[in-house]
Amino acid sequence: MLNSEMRKIMVSESQMLEMLRQSEIRPSIHRLAVLDYVANRQTHPTAEEVYKAILADFPNVSKTTVYNSLHAMAEAHILRELEIESGSTRYDLALQAPHSHFRCTSCGRIFDMNLPSGLDNMVSPGFKVEATDLFFAGLCPRCAKNN
């Protein structure tokens, strides 16, 4: 099981079930574990991180299943894919207030930031915006001190 009661939860199991049901994604135990890991975490994990974390609870889950699950949920707009750094895709829960992301170039952590409204007005007429990403890179307060 997901041991929901053992840590601070932002999205409950019933909420996750509802999300998956609405998107007609069968709530298999692995998918729930993937969603739980991405949703109830401050970080924005990579597929690899999700895989390693889930492996602790489900020793025989395959990497392909993790990729499949992440893709399915991204397509269903339950998750958002963040191409915020070279080499790997990070995942973020989509169902929360729109926000931008700050990546610390020193420690690698990613922080949620505000997002101004009206950004879509920046695109030229005729273009249809489906997604907007605002990324910052720099030093987080902790790393800014230690250098």
Partner DNA sequence: TAACATTCTTGTATTTATTACAAAGTTAGG
Partner DNA sequence: CCTAACTTTGTAATAAATACAAGAATGTTA
Query: Which residues of the shown chain bind DNA in the complex (CB under 7 A)?
Result: 25-26, 28-31, 46-48, 58, 60-65, 67-69, 71, 86-89
Q: Which are the contacts of 49, defined by CB distance < 8 A and separation ≥ 6?
A: 43
| Measured distance CA(77)–CA(80) in Å, rounded | 7
Q: What is the DSSP letter of 59?
A: T
Residues 88-147 that bind its own copies (CB under 8 A): 89, 100, 102, 105, 111, 113-116, 119-120, 122-124, 126-141, 144
Q: How far is the CB of 115 from its own copies (least distance, A)?
A: 7
| Measured distance CA(94)–CA(11) in Å, rounded | 12
77 makes contact, choosing from DNA, its own copies, none, with CB < 5 to 8 Å by partner type, with none
Instruction: For residue 89, give the amino acid letter.
Output: T
Q: How far is the CB of 32 from DNA (least distance, A)?
A: 8
